[in-house]
Amino acid sequence: MSTTLKDILERVSIIDRDVTELNRLKSRLPADRPYSPSLQLSFDKQINNLLNERIALMDLGLISPPSWLSLKSESFEVLTGAKDEAKAPEPDSLSGEHPSEQLVLDFLRALPKTEIHLHLEACVSKKTLKFLYEKNGNPLTEEEIEEKFNFKDLMGFIQVFFFVQSSVKEPSDLAYLIESLHDYLKSNNILYSEVFFAPSKFIQNGLDFDEMVDVMVRKIRDIKSQDGTDIRILVDVSRSFGPENAMNNLNRVLKVRHPEIIGIGLGGAELMGPAKDYAEVFKVARESGLRTVAHSGEDDGPWAIWDAVTLCKAERIGHATSAIQDPELVKYMKDNHIPIEICVTSNVFTGKYVRKEQNHPVRYYYDQGLPLAINTDDPVIFNVNLTYEYFKLYRFLDFSLDEIFDLIKQGVYATFAPDKDALWKQVEARIKTVSENFGYKPKLPVLT
């Protein structure tokens, strides 16, 4: 099958028109009607799908391009005879006034990154899901899988998680989940990641915790020796099943001692399980040398974050979108170096404190000097990736490329990597190489 560039450009222009129209309709959505959250969700999902399609179209490669196209910049001079640089039309450049969005995206994708707030189930590709369902005797068509991901509301979102969890029938299946995660990390140049693994549902389904951990750790070590990608696991003890279940999960974690299993997280429905109920779980974890993080202030107010940082002493907070309502809390988190794991797309989906990207508090937090890390939360489910999360900061929140370098650096220092300076040196060297390749000269003193 072949198509012409004209067809592709026509499709891109239709996408642009549709995205503009959807954004216009979304902005007219009344704020506090019962149907607003699910409509918001459906608008955002459609917009994200279209933008991802646009990126995929612009990324399409040409087989045997004509030489005048592949040697664009050199032959341009020959064709125009333009020797005087001042007179030559401005080529697409990151240092220019208006670099093309495609160039910025390519640059952001090539930059090395870390990601520390993402859920394993939400990184599994649809291809892997199809394979697992088939392998486990319940084959599904691509359309049936697509249908599952076409959710309209929060309930549908939770159903997708269950759908992914149900693809796992035995501990060895988790190796495929880690493999899928690895593909995601590679395609976004993520060198180091910390990933939430929520065992509660798997244990309910009869799987053994130790066996699951062994499978994942073995796969993680294979990947590390293959290409150096570093994956660490934070076990989500979960607030959805109550404190007793969380303590049981913690005890399971304490029994396994692999350097890849670095700590615990508190995820799940925030309003159903306030952080303060889990203070004891966090205390035991902390005293046993585990790292601790909590989702907080995503669905509840700043008081919930206060509980997470003071009663649970969580070392990082996931989301914290409601912290902006309390300047004292922002100051406390800054003074105590408690990073926020920012997940812009996810917060717009949830729609509780952030209704569109332009209003996300990440700009305010950054300007206030809060330590931050940029993340996707649930890349496959929201149809986003880390490259695009950074792009959103550039496109909607006025972050310059140099500020993005700074965010990448903050992201490194927000990790629990054993030697953050060494990790930053590695990341910094690659940022310099990528910048050189793209002809971009950084202006901020983030890089040494």
Please give the full DSSP string across 32-63, using - where no structure is assigned. Answer: T-TTHHHHHHHHHHHHHHHHHHHHHHHTPPPS
| In contact, 278 and 239? CB cutoff 8 Å | yes
**CB of 213 closer than 8 Å to CB of 205:** no
Q: What angle do CA 210, 214, 217 make, to 5 degrees?
A: 135
Quote the radius of gyration of the chain (alpha carbons, Å).
23
What residue ranges bind Zn ion (CB under 5 A)?
377
* Residue 177 per-residue DSSP state: H
- Identity of the residue, 15 or 342, whose beta carbon is nearer to Zn ion in the bound complex: 342
Q: Which residue, 26 or 319, is less far from Zn ion as judged by CB? A: 319
Give the tokens for residue 86: 């001042």
Our CB check for Zn ion shows the closer of 230 and 377 to be 377
Of 198 and 401, the one with the shorter C-beta distance to Zn ion is 198
Of 115 and 377, nearer to Zn ion (C-beta) is 377
Name the residue nearer to Zn ion (CB basis): 189 or 375: 375
Q: Do residues 389 and 375 make contact, with C-beta atoms less than 8 angstroms apart?
A: yes
- Closer residue to Zn ion (CB): 320 or 408: 320
| Angstrom distance (rounded) from CA 317 to CA 433 | 32
Q: How far is the CB of 197 from Zn ion (least distance, A)?
A: 12
Residue number with the shortest CB distance to Zn ion? 377
CA distances (Å), 348 to each of 95, 242, 245, 285, 381, in order? 30, 27, 30, 32, 14
Closest CA to 392 of 416, 436, 359: 359
The helix or strand, by DSSP H or E, that contains position 118, with its residue range, turns out to be: strand 113-119
Closer to Zn ion by CB, 111 or 304: give it.
304
Rounded Cα–Cα distance for residues 365 and 368 (Å): 5
Q: Is 166 helix (H, G, I), strand (E, B) or coil?
A: coil
Nearer to Zn ion, 296 or 410 (CB): 296
209-227 and 242-255 are packed helices; what angle lies between their axes, rounded to 10 degrees?
Answer: 60
What's the closest the beta carbon of residue 265 comes to Zn ion, in angstroms? 8
- Report the chain's terminal Cα–Cα distance, integer Å: 49
